[in-house]
Structure 1
Amino acid sequence: MSEIEARVTLPVLPLNNGVVFPHMVVTVRMETTEGKLALEAARSNGGQLLLVPRVDGRYASVGTVAQIQDTDDEGNVVVEGVSRARVGTGSTDDNGALWVEADPVTEVDVINDSALEELVAEYRAVVSEVLNMRGVGRIAESVLSVDNPSQLADLAVYSPDLSLEQKVEVLETLDIRARLGRLLEWMREVLADLNLRKKVREDAAERIDKSQREYILRQQMESIRRELGDDDDVAGEYRTKLEEADMPEKVAEAVAREIDRLERMSEQSPEHSWVRTWLDTIFEVPWSSRTEDNLDLDAAWTVLEADHTGLKDVKERIVEHLAVRKLRKERGLEGEEDRRAGAILLLVGPPGVGKTSLGESVARALGRKFVRVALGGLRDEAEIRGHRRTYVGARPGRIVRSLIEAGSMNPVFLLDEMDKVGNDWRGDPSSALLEVLDPAQNNTFRDNYLETDLDLSDVLFIATANVVETIPAPLLDRTEVIRIDGYTDA
């Protein structure tokens, strides 16, 4: 309960950064002009003044009557809060000090109020739990030993969990039951927030396994490196490359997964270098790089004529092949549903008749890059499909390496000496070539090293051979044979 005493007129000291409650002893530094004027006015008023919080330019409706206890020459004033007081009308004196009429409010002890006692007990329990969770249980014992309910509630001014606005609201609430009720509601919210944070920390601690702890330590090591000026963020560099690279969506997802693995992996792990080598290789693949085709048939004939003497029938057949490609492109017949209509040229003839150079001429005529893969004596299927990453020294197959060398996804690809491909216990390379040369399948060619689909549908494959008898029938069936018997007389 509270009682209102006789009205008094007191000088006002505005408080911009805090609240002073009754029974508090604080030191206030008088730095502003209005503070110095209030101090001089208080000295002429028996050392009493009214401390009023000011929030966002608005004065509180209730202030604290305070008594000056001590001062020094540097402007420090020790004041003790006496009681609350309702703030009334005010005016300034001749010196410029603000005086207001105030109605002091004195707290009266409440006896035999069971509802208030229950409220106090619950408030003590909640505040005690909050202080214990903050690790200041010893302070809780001394703070909560206060018997007076009003003084107990006013101790909330020391809580870091309450804002300045909330503390002003506590000051303005004169009824002790309402004051404790508001504080209890706020402290429950604080306790719920602390419990939630504790639960999150415990759950996170339970989920942290060895790899996660290593990840945290690596992050700390990265911070230490940055502080020392040794900023070597490998994973960050790869992520920057990934953002800049125009990769297919599934390939980008696979790369992102490997970068995450690399970031969690210790540099001492053997896999660390394997993953970095894989990432370096996959970034070298020209995923989005293509050259524009030049389908001018007259220009193609001119190039073939300039590079080779004679071979008229062969040149005509090559130009016919290019004419078909041009017509299909003009009619929009290069979609997914028409892949099977493609053809692979196979140039067959004795050594030295110009099979390889014809392939180079086709590339020059089309304006495409040219790469050559020698298949003579090839016996290991991994040379075509690549090695699994689990093997030491693994690398992609010749198809992928040639695309990297060409720097384009649509080069002219010459498969030289296809009739001399062998097979043994290491596998059958001709079986791997079946997928490479099949227009219905090579849009999803999968290299064992990259482990991602590679689209070879834009590559123009040209194969060469001396004889067709040693070429496996399924492989021969995927090609269109052009025989070169030799040069004719001019």
Structure 2
Amino acid sequence: MTSTLLLIPLDDTVVLPTMDITLPVDVGDAQRVVLVPRHDGEYASVGTIATVTESIRLPGGGRGASLSGESRGLIGAAETGADGKLHVNVTEAPDDVPVDGRTRELEREYRAVVEELLELRGDDGRVAGWVRAIREPGPLADTTGYAPDLSFEQKVRILETTDVTERLGLALEFQRERLTALQIRRKIREDVESGANKQQREYLLRQQLASIRRELGEDNDSAGEDYRTKIAEADMPEAVREQAERELERLERSGEGGQEGQMIRTYLDWLTSVPWGVESEETLDPVRTREVLDADHAGLDDVKDRIVEYVAVKKLRSERGLGDGEDARKAGAILTLIGPPGTGKTSIGESIARAMDREFVRISLGGIRDEAEIRGHRRTYIGALPGRLVRALRDAKTMNPVILLDEIDKVGADWRGDPSSALLEVLDPAQNSTFRDHYLDVELDLSDVVFIATANQYDTIPGPLLDRMEVIAFDGYTVAEKVAIARDYLFPRQRQRNGLLEDEVTVTDEVLRTIVVEYTREAGVRSLERQLGTVLRKTATKVASRPAVVAADGAVGADVAEADVVDAAPVATATEPVVVDLDLVREALGRQKVFQEAAARTAVPGVATGLAVTGTGGDVLFVEATAMDGKGTGGLTLTGQLGDVMKESAHIALTYVRAHREELGIPASAFEDREFHVHVPAGAIPKDGPSAGVTMITALASLLSGRPVKHTVGMTGEVTLQGRVLPIGGLKQKVLAAHAAGLTDVVLPERNRGDLDDVPEEVRAVMTFHPAMTIGEVLDAALEPARDPEVVA
């Protein structure tokens, strides 16, 4: 039967037939209404037809009604009645259906489950008696609606199920779930009270947690299974696997919602992100390795030879079945490339990785002062993370990458620790197979990692750390090497970066040499590449500014005599390439910036040309000495921001010249009532080092003897008070600086004669070297012959 009834929506509430309810609604004169559940504006398809048993006045003056549910009603079309309220067409759906054996069986099971459930809840028997008194299956199933544990959605499903047998089966399913949950809770309580062992409690708690999550529709147990899968799939060492499983058990006990659960999840994420047991299949071919390194870099034979040796040794051990035992781990390659900026230290690391078919990761150490950057933070700190080595392995996705430790000479230390001390274990082949990160707190085997460290100078690297390194010096390039690098590497790269094609611009070696000699003074090639970029940007502007040439048939690039010039947007044309000549270089780079000034600076007595090593490579320094009248005898003034060592060298130089004035042909009157001033330009740059002694003695001897220093001579070496010349370091860099400055003679300590083997053959062929044991030999090679025995001061 269909009728039109007043609609009363029930927000998040379900009223089933046989249930009574009082609502704060004004039903007017209506005798029957339909109660329809509503959730988020959505109405159920079935409502409860209820009889208005009483109209009441509520506190405050409002109207209410007591309603008694009768039967289900299928909701139809809605319309607004004369009273301005919403009415709907309702088709009654009574429960008068035949009851078969299946229905009776469900009734018995339902009563049994409800009675057991009531027993667990501590019912005194009244509710159980009320349930037993209900004889009809429909009202019996509707008693499920009184259960406080059922969700709104479950009660709506009971309401919308018009088939009695189906409704009873659904009610039985819901009551069984409630019974199971109560039984588990009782079991947990009994186990706790009886002192059940830890494993049983954890199992029951997990079961309870899983049941609760299922009830809430939140099956988060998959997170624990995901971690178990990750741990099982990772080829972890046994100790690491045990640690991971212990943390996973803690996670399952504590739950995932709290702060501790989140910390454990983060830890497990890091632990499983380490590529345990994963290694790149490296290529052990010394010939191919050398070919790759030669294709990427010119020169640098020392580091290339060392990498080829490493590959060859590993190939022999692999082929001859010598394995990867303790001796193999201690033979790992830990190279330190020390040299001026721009000499290719960082880029060759990438080439080494490519030559060995390994992954490459770069770690910048410049300026770090926290030891935790290397070893990681302890997990007791909020926001703790692993160290950079663990992160490098994660990024490389392999346990045998090439890791470049860039700028290792710029590692600092403060109250947070000394990172260089943490690196002692990392860079020691005898220890790094058991490296322990503070955050992971498990051993990491770093013995298969090829570590390559880079630095600009030795001085700032701690001694114990330097002792663990195999140092390969990058002393800079000769002019010829720079020209070759510019031609084969830098010019093509800058041409591509500036959008130029190979046939659009050409350059000769002579022009490249001009750029090297007149616009750069560096040990590396970084500044040279910038200058080439400037020239090629100027070239790109010229190419892009050419007018487009279009033939009569519309083809681009035809001969100019047979084409029309179109004043449209400029495009590149198939014309003659731009030739980078001297005029274009001057236009792009301006006037010459680097001059060979040794001849002009040493034209007068008192100026000597010294050779030094700075943070940017070898360099030429001019030491100037002059004398003036003074009240004292032999006073000395020093300028040029000299360090303590160079100040001592200046005092030694003056003392030596005064003590050996007769040998040098200097009369005693040259020191009477005179003071001396030694200056090392440029004054704004701090200078220090133990190799300026011979240069300062030569400058003072030149001043007091009137013999100028030969403009082709550069010198280096420290001296004693007895005039012996002591050996120095960095000879190769100093010789390359002398060669770049146009000097042809170098005075050096005799004990550094063997270091000349490191100087490129092409430089040795055009320079003359004067090894000296004493200051007398230095002055004989450096000073012009005496013209007048009288002192010129």
| TM-score interval (norm. to shorter) | 0.5 to 0.7
Cα deviations across residues 143-182 of structure 1 (Å, max 9, x unaligned)?
Answer: xxxxxxxxxxxxxxxxxxxxxxxxxxxxxxxxxxxxxxxx
Residues 201 and 228 (structure 1 numbering): CA distance in 2 closer, same or farther, change over 3 Å? closer
Residues 333 and 476 (structure 1 numbering): CA distance in 2 closer, same or farther, change over 3 Å? farther
Tell me, in whole angstroms, the C-alpha distance in 2 between the residues paired with 1:461 and 1:207. Answer: 56
TM-score (normalised: structure 1): 0.56
Structure 1 letter corresponding to 2:208? Q
Matches within 5 A, 1:156-305: 205-207=193-195, 216-233=204-221, 234-305=223-294
Cα shift at 1:236:
2.2
Highest RCO, 1 vs 2 (Cα 8 Å, sep ≥ 6) = 1
Larger radius of gyration between Structure 1 and Structure 2 = 2
2:300 to 311, 319, 337: 311
Gaps of 5+ in 1: 1-199
Q: Give the conservation status (yes or no) of the 8 Å contact 1:381–1:426.
A: yes
Tell me, in whole angstroms, the C-alpha distance in 2 between the residues paired with 1:202 and 1:212. Answer: 11
- Specify the SS of the correspondent of 2:405: strand
Cα deviations across residues 316-339 of structure 1 (Å, max 9, x unaligned)?
Answer: 333233333333444416312453
Residues 249 and 213 (structure 1 numbering): CA distance in 2 closer, same or farther, change over 3 Å? closer
Tell me, in whole angstroms, the C-alpha distance in 1 between the residues paired with 2:275 and 2:310. Answer: 26
Cα shift at 1:413:
0.8
2:442 aligns to what?
452
Residues 266 and 312 (structure 1 numbering): CA distance in 2 closer, same or farther, change over 3 Å? closer
- Specify the SS of the correspondent of 1:394: coil
Cα shift at 1:298:
1.4
Cα shift at 1:239:
1.4
- Specify the SS of the correspondent of 2:451: strand
Cα shift at 1:226:
2.5
Residues 253 and 311 (structure 1 numbering): CA distance in 2 closer, same or farther, change over 3 Å? same
Cα deviations across residues 199-252 of structure 1 (Å, max 9, x unaligned)?
Answer: x99776343599986874553131132355421112222112222222111111
Cα deviations across residues 415-460 of structure 1 (Å, max 9, x unaligned)?
Answer: 1111111111111111111111111111111100001111111111
Cα deviations across residues 389-420 of structure 1 (Å, max 9, x unaligned)?
Answer: 11111010000000000000000011111111
Residues 216 and 303 (structure 1 numbering): CA distance in 2 closer, same or farther, change over 3 Å? same
- Specify the SS of the correspondent of 2:293: helix
- Specify the SS of the correspondent of 1:415: strand
- Specify the SS of the correspondent of 1:207: coil
1:404 to 369, 377, 394: 394
Residues 442 and 313 (structure 1 numbering): CA distance in 2 closer, same or farther, change over 3 Å? closer
Cα shift at 1:313:
3.9
Structure 2 letter corresponding to 1:294? T
Cα shift at 1:314:
3.6
Cα deviations across residues 18-58 of structure 1 (Å, max 9, x unaligned)?
Answer: xxxxxxxxxxxxxxxxxxxxxxxxxxxxxxxxxxxxxxxxx
1:379 to 354, 369, 372: 369
Structure 2 letter corresponding to 1:433? L
Matched, 1:395 2:424: no
Structure 2 letter corresponding to 1:263? E
Of stretches 472-481 and 254-263 in structure 1, the one that deviates more from structure 2 is: 472-481
Matches within 5 A, 1:316-331: 316-331=305-320
Tell me, in whole angstroms, the C-alpha distance in 2 between the residues paired with 1:313 and 1:444. Answer: 30
Q: Give the conservation status (yes or no) of the 8 Å contact 2:409–2:458.
A: yes
Cα shift at 1:485:
1.4
Residues 271 and 209 (structure 1 numbering): CA distance in 2 closer, same or farther, change over 3 Å? farther
Tell me, in whole angstroms, the C-alpha distance in 1 between the residues paired with 2:410 and 2:348. Answer: 20
Tell me, in whole angstroms, the C-alpha distance in 1 between the residues paired with 2:476 and 2:362. Answer: 22
Q: Give the conservation status (yes or no) of the 8 Å contact 1:433–1:475.
A: yes
Tell me, in whole angstroms, the C-alpha distance in 1 between the residues paired with 2:220 and 2:190. Answer: 33
Tell me, in whole angstroms, the C-alpha distance in 2 between the residues paired with 1:382 and 1:373. Answer: 14
Cα deviations across residues 440-486 of structure 1 (Å, max 9, x unaligned)?
Answer: 11111110000111111111111111111211111111111111112
2:405 aligns to what?
415
- Specify the SS of the correspondent of 2:330: helix
Residues 201 and 419 (structure 1 numbering): CA distance in 2 closer, same or farther, change over 3 Å? closer
TM-score (normalised: structure 2): 0.35
2:609 aligns to what?
none
Matched, 1:475 2:475: no
Q: Give the conservation status (yes or no) of the 8 Å contact 2:332–2:450.
A: no
Q: Give the conservation status (yes or no) of the 8 Å contact 1:385–1:396.
A: yes
Residues 210 and 317 (structure 1 numbering): CA distance in 2 closer, same or farther, change over 3 Å? closer
Q: Give the conservation status (yes or no) of the 8 Å contact 1:351–1:466.
A: yes
Q: Give the conservation status (yes or no) of the 8 Å contact 1:311–1:487.
A: no
Cα deviations across residues 326-368 of structure 1 (Å, max 9, x unaligned)?
Answer: 3344441631245334341111110111101111100000000
Tell me, in whole angstroms, the C-alpha distance in 1 between the residues paired with 2:473 and 2:253. Answer: 57
- Specify the SS of the correspondent of 1:461: strand
Cα shift at 1:270:
1.7
Structure 2 letter corresponding to 1:422? G
Matches within 5 A, 1:25-36: none
Structure 2 letter corresponding to 1:477? D
1:357 aligns to what?
347
1:177 aligns to what?
none
Matched, 1:485 2:475: yes
Q: Give the conservation status (yes or no) of the 8 Å contact 1:384–1:399.
A: yes
Cα deviations across residues 265-284 of structure 1 (Å, max 9, x unaligned)?
Answer: 04443211100000011111
Residues 213 and 339 (structure 1 numbering): CA distance in 2 closer, same or farther, change over 3 Å? closer
Residues 210 and 241 (structure 1 numbering): CA distance in 2 closer, same or farther, change over 3 Å? closer
Tell me, in whole angstroms, the C-alpha distance in 1 between the residues paired with 2:228 and 2:306. Answer: 48
Q: Give the conservation status (yes or no) of the 8 Å contact 1:211–1:264.
A: no
